[in-house]
Amino acid sequence: MRIRSGDVADLPAVMAMFDEAIAWMVHRGNTEQWGTEPWSSQPAKVDAIRKRIEEEDLRIAELDDVAVGALITSDKPPHPIEPVDEPELYVRLLLTSRRHAGRGIGSRLLTHARATAVEQGVALVRVDCYRGGDGSLVRYYERNGFVRTHPFTVGEWPGQVLEHRVRADDH
């Protein structure tokens, strides 16, 4: 697997991964996290992801030249997450192809984020995720070295902020 820089030309591949993830979640009964409709069919969602790609740092994981994962990071958290009093690398999006599940793609992208933080001299990597359902997404980040800091709610959507303190050997 290789991880490369991405740009707006990768938008169709990122949207396809969103659509795969939503179909998989709906099949499992999770309709609250990202809804039930493919994001590629929703112009506002496509525009929001395009803007994120244009303004933030997109990395694409590839297997045999096929995009199988996406990571978007920023130096600031999204609304409504409160900023911290130190520099940070915020994981704004971690998404992997469901067709390639179980291959450690997400973990490799998180390792890449930690290595990027080290390169930038940043000691804190944070992420937020869906806290609902059976809590498996929060546990996923915990298995990848993140620690829960605080829960939050947007409307009825339950979220969890997690953090990882990086060290020089985090890569």
Domains of the chain: 2-165 (3.40.630.30)
Q: What is the pLDDT of residue 157?
A: 92
Q: What is the mean pLDDT of the chain?
A: 94
Alpha carbons 127 and 156: distance in angstroms, whole number: 19
Residue spans of beta strands (DSSP E) within 11-166 = 57-63, 66-74, 89-96, 124-130, 147-154, 157-165
Given a cut of 80, whether residue 168 has pLDDT beyond it is no
Given this model, what pLDDT does residue 76 score? 95
Confidence (pLDDT) at 51? 97
Q: Give the pLDDT confidence of 24-76 residue by residue, as tens digits.
A: 989 988 888 888 999 999 999 999 999 999 999 999 999 999 999 999 999 99
d(CA 165, CA 139): 17
Q: What tens digit of pLDDT does each residue of 77-118 get?
A: 998 999 999 999 999 999 999 899 889 999 999 999 999 999
Give me the residues paired with residue 90 across strands: 74, 126
Region for residue 164 given its phi and psi (left: phi exceeds 0; alpha: psi -120 to 50; beta: otherwise): beta
Q: What is the pLDDT of residue 171?
A: 59
The mean pLDDT of 154-165, rounded to a whole number, is 95
